[in-house]
Structures are given as structure tokens and as C-alpha cells.
Amino acid sequence: MGQQKILELVLSDGSVYPRKGWIVLADRQVDVKTGTIRVAGAFENPGGILRPGMFGRVRAVTGVDKDALLVPQRSVVETQGSYSVVVVGSNNQASIRPVKTGERVGQMWVITEGVKPGEQVIAEGMQKAREGVTVRPKQFNAAGQGE
């Protein structure tokens, strides 16, 4: 069989089914209400572990962004369709920076333009930080980073 086995099945208890599945067919029509497409996949089922009516989630890697820059979603502020973050400069002064966003990854957001690696982005207290105001940054650790 020449199918590319790229699908993972996450069972209702959170465990991952040990065999990968393959795509049987995919709709090309995007559902305008949900922004999704319908895909049918198949998984080998030796031993009959998978049963009719079982619930699970299917996931697949659709692309890889090497060296992607991630910030917590809570750091990104949307104003009338444009996005910005508050960056802390070397002198601890706040600077509001427009950014372009990519995919969401767990609780993080890929930033494609506007922030460089190593720059500090404010994750909490953005409403107090205004352009040029001196801030006291504290380290922020996001739970489940890069899920």
C-alpha cells in the first residue's frame, strides 16, 4: 500500500492510537461557517480496538515552520483587524509594535513580522503599558508551550 500515513488518532482517554492512519478522501469545499474541510481517514485495526461509535480526534502535521517565533496569545492585542504587542526595550521602556500573526499553536501564536528573536514581549499588564513608559519585566512561563 502506498498511502502516506500522516494521521494520528487521539482516543477519548487522551492516549494516542499506536498506528498512524491515511487520508482516503478530502473535500475541496471549505465550510464557510466553521472554516473547515471534511476529510475521511482510515486506520488499521488489528485486534479490533477501534469500535463503531467510539469518539476520538484526528490530527495531522500540515506544515513545519522552522525557527518560528512564538508569543503567548494573551500578548497579542487586536484593534480593528490589526494586531500589536508591547515590546520591552533594553532600557525597560514599553514600545507598542504592530505585528503580523501566523498559526496558533496551543496557547501560543506564531508572529511572522514585527518582533525579532530575543525581544521581550509583555504577556500581562498590557493595559498599563503605554508607549515610552518604564516597566518592571518579570519572567513569564506559559504552560503547555508549543503543544
Distance of CA 128 to the CA centre of its chain: 27
Q: Cα dist. 119→72, 94, 97, 106 in Å?
A: 13, 12, 11, 21
Distance of CA 3 to the CA centre of its chain: 27
Is this structure's pTM higher than 0.95? no
DSSP single-letter state for residue 17: P
- By C-alpha distance, which of 59, 49, 48 is closest to 20? 59
Q: Express each pLDDT in 13-63 by its tens digit.
A: 999 999 999 999 988 898 888 888 888 999 999 989 999 999 999 988 877
Residue 107 — φ and ψ, nearest 5°?
Answer: -95, 10
Kindly indicate the confidence band of residue 146, based on its pLDDT and cuts at 50, 70 and 90.
very low
Q: Express each pLDDT in 80-137 by its tens digit.
A: 889 999 888 878 888 889 999 988 888 888 999 999 888 888 887 666 666 767 777 7
Q: Which domains does the chain have, with CATH numbers?
A: 5-60 (2.40.30.170), 70-121 (2.40.420.20)
